[in-house]
Structures are given as structure tokens and as C-alpha cells.
Amino acid sequence: MIDPDTRNHLRRALRAERNRLTPAQQARAAQGLAVQLAGTRLFRVARRIALYLPNDGEIDPVPLMTRVWAMNKTCYLPILSRLKHDRLWFAPYEPDTALAPNRFGIPEPLVAPRTWLRAPDLDLILMPLVAFDARGNRLGMGGGFYDRSLAFLRHRGRWHKPHLVGLAHEFQHVEQLETFAWDVPLQAVATDRAVYHFQQQD
């Protein structure tokens, strides 16, 4: 049986650890992440890529966004403010796109809803996490938004897009995570020091 207190304790501990990082440490980690991930095939071949703006000490993917734009790919950010059935939309984001905070205080692009996409329309989703293990399991913040938005991937005969890659500091790598039936595993995790690839789901 999965003990929610254990998951919550791990979540609190790792959130506290990443929030202790100095701005200089965060900046170095962000640059290391961009170098690690930009060389992967998953990143090179993707055209529509979802990222996020860092919050609560999450590793910063903004240097990676500059590579997305430089390579004429399209960057998308998750939209939480107008959820339908707790599933995410993804809005295009460019350097001059205006932003406004959602109900959690996280900035979102102010763009026309007709430009929003659902997860199946993306090639690659780079998502934040609190912890990950050697099997590609992910511990998030507990809201379940990504798991609900990606639930369709659990019911396919073989893996289709979007490809899922978690972004994390190296210290967020743990030995093993207990999982729920609705958890959607990752294909890879990129940190400031390495890229971990996991077996694709059959």
C-alpha cells in the first residue's frame, strides 16, 4: 500500500533542498540542463515543445527556450487558468509574449485561445518534477494536472507523441518511487549533469 505521508515527506524535503539553491547555483544548473538536453534526438527532432516557467526552486528551462527559438521551433507553456476537466492546454510563447499570473501565481501567456493546443498535438513535453527514479517514475507537486492531461498515453497500444521528458536537479534522483495506477511514466529525465533514458512503454 502506498503511504501518502511518505510521498508528502519526500516532496517537502526535496522542495526545501531546491529552494536552498542560490541564484548562482540555479543559473549554473539551468545552463547545464540546456547543454545536456539540446544534444538529444528527442529535442532535435521535435518542432512543438512544451516547457514551463520555473517556480518553487524548479530547475530553470529558460536557457533551453532560447535554443528552441533559435532553431525555429515553437515553445508552448501550460495553461491552468481555464481548465476543463482538470486537463491542461498549452499556449504558444515567444520572447515578447505578455504574461499574466494564474490562480497559483504562475505566469501564463496572454494569447488567443484559438492558438492553444492539447497535449496530443505536441511533439515533446518538458515537465517539472519533485523527484524521479530509475524506472522513469515521476513525483510531481501533487495537483495531478500533467497525469490527467496525459492519461490517454496509458491506453495506447504503443507509445505515440508527445514524448515526455522530466527536467530536474541531479539531487532529485531517488532510488525508487511508489506509484499510483494513474501515474504516467517518463521516457527520459534531463538534469544539469546527465540525461537518463527509460524504456518506452509497450
For residue 8, being part of any structural domain is answered with yes
For residue 202, being part of any structural domain is answered with no
pLDDT at 178: 84
- Segments in the chain below pLDDT 50: 1-2, 201-202
For residue 42, being part of any structural domain is answered with yes
Q: Please tell me the total number of residues recorded for the chain in this structure.
A: 202
Give the cell for residue 138: 515521476
Q: What mean pLDDT value characterizes the chain?
A: 89
pLDDT at 80: 83
Q: Domain of 49?
A: 4-197
In order of 3, 95, 117, 154, the CA distances from 91 in angstroms are: 36, 13, 6, 24
User: How many independent structural domains does the chain possess?
Assistant: 1
Contact 106, 125 (CB under 8 A): no
**Bond into 162 cis (ω within 30):** yes
CATH of the domain at 159: 3.40.50.10420
pLDDT at 98: 97
Q: Where do the DSSP E strands lie in 19-157?
A: 48-50, 74-84, 87-92, 99-101, 107-109, 124-128, 131-132, 138-139
pLDDT at 1: 37
For residue 72, being part of any structural domain is answered with yes
Instruction: With residue 190 as reference, give the H or E element that holds it.
Output: strand 188-190
**What 8-state DSSP symbol labels residue 117?**
B
